[in-house]
Amino acid sequence: MKRLFAKGHRVRNRDKLIPYWLATIVALPFILFIGGVAFGLYLKLQNQWMVFGIVVFALVLISALIVYRLYLLLLSRNKFYIHRYREYLLWRFLFQNGLYFTKKSGGNATNTTPRIKFPKVYLKQGKYTLSASFQLEGIKFQDRFLSIGGQLETMFSADMMGSVDDKAFITYNYAIDSIRGRISAKDVIATISEGVKLSEGVYWDFVHDPHLLIAGGTGGGKTVFLRSLLVGLLRLGRVEILDPKQADFVPLNELKVLKGRVTWETEEMGQCLIDLNHQMNERYQLMRKCSKERGEKELGAFYKYDLKPVFIMTDELPSFISALEDLPQGSLVNYMEVMSALKQLTLKGRQAGFYLVIATQNVKADDLPSTIKDNMMLRITLGRVSSYTYATLFGEENKDKKFKYVEKIGANRIFGRGYYGIFGGPAKEFFAPLLPNPKVFDFYTDFESLPRIEEEKIKNQVEEKRFLQAEVLEKLNITRSTLKKIESLLQDNQFPLGGNGYSKKELDLLKRILLEREETGDTLRDAVSNVISTLM
């Protein structure tokens, strides 16, 4: 039985009657009521036709108004009515576009009206999805059916998710009623296995689709969305926030869970990215070491090693990048090294569990380097954005899609509406988690109670690389006897080197001593004591 209806409702010519019988269902109780009242009045008001007529007319008028309002309400709210009305829409679409066959009625010579017969077209409707299947098999409408998907998308106000061509039929799949799947910001949860829940059935599966790019016009709801993400992210991993606007996120630095993890000065933000890149590389070292110890061939992802994900959230990234370009010479960080760290995090972050969440206003041509843009797998727009932004975020795949800005639904202003799509996939309508009533929930209070997720102490766990003596001699371009002399001078100054090779720190110390000697022209002994004195 299930197989029989696998494709859903078949469109037939009798579907033209759907609006009539839907309206009749609504009107029926009123018709019966008016009939009953009229009959009662008729018995009571014998021969007073005038009064009888006025009362019945008034009743009919009021009932008609109620029926009409009720009918519209059911069409927008009731599942049965909505589904049947869509079936009618599909019938009307096929009919008005001449996508049907006509057959002469046989027998009666006086009846010349041709009979209408529709090709095999089916409509299947689920809670959040809808699919329409069209017969191909060489029928005369085949070519039109192969390109009908976009028109149906507009007709159903749905988002096309793709089509399946199984030779006999082409089936277009759509996402519908995304607003019904909207969740409250307080219900945003994040897990490694599913990702961050953004709406019913919509997840940011960061392990498989790393990095999130959000674009939104002013007042589009970016800040509210970023804070909603924090509800889930702060419970799952470590979050670092860069706030170049120095506005919405700065106060969060006071919270235990984010203390020292919110930066807003350009140099600090740059240093934060450089440090994070460093931490990511250290994490890779740790993972490699553990994997080797376990005798595994595949490195696998961070969660195999009980490591927590790290989310790097940046509001208004382009404004941070342009501030970096303007940094004066001699600043703590420079543009090149910060951008290189950012690119590394984007390219290598997935496996180590470092994920970027980048928010920006409209995307402009040279706003974001393409290495970064092309590796942000989930893209979301919120509110009103330019057509260039849609094209950049959702690409060729969605070039025929009619993106629209919706300001109101009914009488209600809509906030946080936009589109989401995995890079290279179809874009779908999206409703960001709804801001809860501040009397019931506020972000700051929620975050206040959260425990802090500490950085793993990688430094102690990873075996530090040690350089062999030959490597040191080559790197510093000195003789063995000079090296021995420096070592013994260091020993005299209570600064013995570790033995068993040389650490990176020790190598740097040796470099500084040689540099000091070169710059001051002092003896090696003086150079050693000068450098040591700066370390005390």
Ligand X SMILES: Nc1ncnc2c1ncn2[C@@H]1O[C@H](COP(=O)(O)OP(=O)(O)OP(=O)(O)O)[C@@H](O)[C@H]1O
Question: Which segments are annotated as binding site for ATP?
Answer: 216-223
**432 touches ligand X (CB under 6 A):** yes
Smaller CB separation from ligand X, 148 or 380: 380
List all residues 6 or more positions away from 12 whose beta carbon is below 8 Å from its beta carbon.
91, 118
Choices 97-105, 232-240, 431-439, 484-492; region in contact with ligand X by CB under 6 A: 431-439
Smaller CB separation from ligand X, 149 or 433: 433
Smaller CB separation from ligand X, 395 or 436: 436
* Least distance to ligand X, CB of residue 433, Å: 6
Binding to ligand X by CB under 6 A, coded x per residue (else -) over 396-415, reads -------------------x
* Least distance to ligand X, CB of residue 314, Å: 13
183 vs 202: CA distance, rounded Å: 10
* Least distance to ligand X, CB of residue 214, Å: 9
* Least distance to ligand X, CB of residue 268, Å: 21
- 444 exposed, middle or buried (CB, 10 Å; 0-12, 13-18, 19+)? exposed
Among residues 160, 196, 224, 231, which is the contact residue for ligand X, using CB under 6 A? Answer: 224
* Least distance to ligand X, CB of residue 410, Å: 16
Choices 211-219, 299-307, 395-403, 496-504; region in contact with ligand X by CB under 6 A: 211-219
SS3 category, 132? strand
* Least distance to ligand X, CB of residue 234, Å: 18
Phi and psi based region of residue 85 (left: phi greater than 0; alpha: psi -120 to 50; beta: remaining): alpha
392 vs 423: CA distance, rounded Å: 10
Choices 160-168, 387-395, 426-434, 454-462; region in contact with ligand X by CB under 6 A: 426-434
299 vs 317: CA distance, rounded Å: 32
Q: For residues 401 and 154, is the Cβ–Cβ distance under 8 A? A: no
Closest CA to 357 of 335, 390, 379: 379
- For the beta carbon of residue 221, count every other beta carbon within 10 angstroms: 22
Q: Interaction with ligand X in 104-163: which residues (CB under 6 A)?
A: none
**216 touches ligand X (CB under 6 A):** yes
* Least distance to ligand X, CB of residue 381, Å: 11
Q: For residues 242 and 272, is the Cβ–Cβ distance under 8 A? A: yes
**222 touches ligand X (CB under 6 A):** yes
Choices 130-138, 221-229, 443-451, 508-516; region in contact with ligand X by CB under 6 A: 221-229
**229 touches ligand X (CB under 6 A):** no
**503 touches ligand X (CB under 6 A):** no
**244 touches ligand X (CB under 6 A):** no
169 vs 154: CA distance, rounded Å: 21
**319 touches ligand X (CB under 6 A):** no
Among residues 36, 219, 496, 498, which is the contact residue for ligand X, using CB under 6 A? Answer: 219
* Least distance to ligand X, CB of residue 316, Å: 8
**425 touches ligand X (CB under 6 A):** no
Pairing of strands 238-242, 310-314: parallel
Total residues at the site for ligand X (CB under 6 A)? 14
233 vs 222: CA distance, rounded Å: 16
Cα torsion 528, 532, 533, 535: sign: positive
Q: For residues 416 and 382, is the Cβ–Cβ distance under 8 A? A: yes
**223 touches ligand X (CB under 6 A):** yes
Choices 216-224, 273-281, 293-301, 513-521; region in contact with ligand X by CB under 6 A: 216-224
Pairing of strands 101-103, 9-10: unpaired
**434 touches ligand X (CB under 6 A):** yes
* Least distance to ligand X, CB of residue 359, Å: 8
Smaller CB separation from ligand X, 258 or 434: 434
Position of tokens 């450089």? 274
Choices 2-10, 429-437, 457-465, 472-480; region in contact with ligand X by CB under 6 A: 429-437
Among residues 8, 119, 353, 416, which is the contact residue for ligand X, using CB under 6 A? Answer: 416
**441 touches ligand X (CB under 6 A):** no
* Least distance to ligand X, CB of residue 144, Å: 40
Closest CA to 389 of 345, 415, 359: 359
Tell me the DSSP string of 343-400: HHHHHHHHHHTEEEEEEESS--TTTS-HHHHTT--EEEEESS--HHHHHHHHTGGGTT
Nearest-5° angle of CA 214, CA 387, CA 226?
Answer: 15
Q: Which residues bind ligand X (CB under 6 A)?
A: 216, 218-224, 415-416, 432-435
